[in-house]
Amino acid sequence: QLQLQASGPGLVKPSETLSLTCSVSGGPISTSAYSWGWIRQPPGKALEWLGTVYFSGRAYSKPSLNSRVTISVDTSKNQFSLKLTSVTAADTAVYYCARQAETPGGFVWFDPWGQGILVTVSS
Amino acid sequence: SSELTQDPAVSVALGQTVRITCQGDSLRNFYASWYQKKPGQAPVLVIYGKNNRPSGIPDRFSGSNSGNTAFLTITGAQAEHEADYYCCTWDTNDNHVLFGGGTKLTVL
């Protein structure tokens, strides 16, 4: 059974870079059948997709965050990562990683999800 | 960019049927996926594609579309279905993924 687990610092200072890693177990990250996504949920707010990476390393991210987000993959470690630069209190959220499925018709869904990690931005 | 709009809150009597809606232009071309989100837990996929349920999701959950609106229907709602529900789809305008604002379902 595929499992994902996000890890990283739970506290980041304003203006610094948030770095998280998602470890995938129970299956290879190097598959053309799926991509790998990051989604977050600020306290009391909705889910927000941040970006997605393919095992090839090709990645795309939410346009409004594009310049701050970098998503990469390390197939040798079966992991993918998120970096978010210049963080502010607005970036405080639970960050989730998930396997993303897509079809040629553009249908997209996320399953399964990692357990999430709370990242607080505070000095 | 496009948006997905959901009613913030919906309530249903125990054992009754409830339909949760999600509106957006992208839904004219793409089906929505739906997620159940309980406090302190990761979201769980309940519907994807035209009307597909992942393994382990009961058939009381179903999905449908009409025009620019996607629907998640829960037939015979139970107390354990009380949660936030989110829709999600692809936005061709900006080539990215959209989530709706979520609907808080209360089972009375």
Q: What is the pLDDT along chain A (123 residues), one digit of tens a residue?
A: 999 999 999 999 999 999 999 999 999 999 989 999 999 999 999 999 999 999 999 999 998 887 899 999 999 999 999 999 999 999 999 999 999 998 877 789 999 999 999 999 999
Residue B19 has pLDDT above 90, yes or no: yes
Contacts 24+ apart (CB under 8 A), A53-57: A53/A80, A55/A29, A55/A30, A55/A31
Q: Which of A63, A107, A116 comes nearest B1 by C-beta?
A: A63
**Could you tell me if B99 lies within 8 Å of chain A, comparing CB atoms?**
yes
Per DSSP bridges, beta strands B103-107 and B9-12 are parallel
Q: Which of A48, A96, A106 comes nearest B29 by C-beta?
A: A106
Average pLDDT over residues B18-41: 95
First CA to last CA distance, chain A: 39
Partners of A21 in beta bridges: A7, A81
Is-contact A115 B42, C-beta < 8 A? yes
No. of H helices and E strands in chain B?
0, 10
How far is B29 from chain A, CA to nearest CA, in Å? 9
Q: Could you report the per-residue pLDDT of B52-65, keeping only the tens digit for each? A: 999 999 999 999 99
Q: Compute the distance between CA of residue A104 and CA of residue B48 in angstroms, rounded to an integer.
A: 14
How far is B14 from chain A, CA to nearest CA, in Å? 26
How far is A47 from chain B, CA to nearest CA, in Å? 6
Provide the strand spans (E) within B9-68.
9-12, 18-23, 33-37, 44-47, 61-66
Q: How far is CA B104 from the centre of its chain?
A: 11
From chain B, the residues in CB contact with A61 under 8 A are 96
From chain A, the residues in CB contact with B95 under 8 A are 60
- Please answer yes or no on whether A61 and B96 come within 8 Å at the CB atom: yes
- Please answer yes or no on whether B42 and A116 come within 8 Å at the CB atom: yes
